[in-house]
Amino acid sequence: MTKEALNKSDLIERIALKNPHLAEPLVEEAVRIMIDQMIDTLSSDDRIEIRGFGSFALHHRDPRVGRNPKTGKSVDVAAKSVPHFKPGKALRDAVNEQVK
């Protein structure tokens, strides 16, 4: 059972359809601003919490020695920060209801 992903343009279209009083370019700008704000917040190492949906935070990974799977040679992997999403209870419950 393969389902298609909801991409940004689909999201904009759905929001515009549910809110006919808002022009699609206005919805597109609002979505862009929201995503930009989320990126800026995470880039500043701050946390984002949306009650009922979930939270976004950075997980910091230390530098390590990895292996090139093709050659088996050691490779230095630099430290990095990766975005992490933790779903909220309402989202988990809603998703689990769909699974039942």
The tokens for 45 are 């190492």
pLDDT digits (tens, 9 = 90+) for 58-97: 999 999 999 999 999 999 999 999 999 999 999 999 999 8
Q: What is the pLDDT of residues 12-52, one digit of tens each?
A: 999 999 999 999 999 999 999 999 999 999 999 999 999 99
Alpha-carbon distance 85 to 61, whole Å?
A: 16
Tokens for 72? 């088996």
**Domains in the chain, CATH or no CATH each:** 1-44 (no CATH), 48-99 (4.10.520.10)
Band (pLDDT 50/70/90 cuts) for residue 2 is: low
DSSP 8-state class, residue 1: -
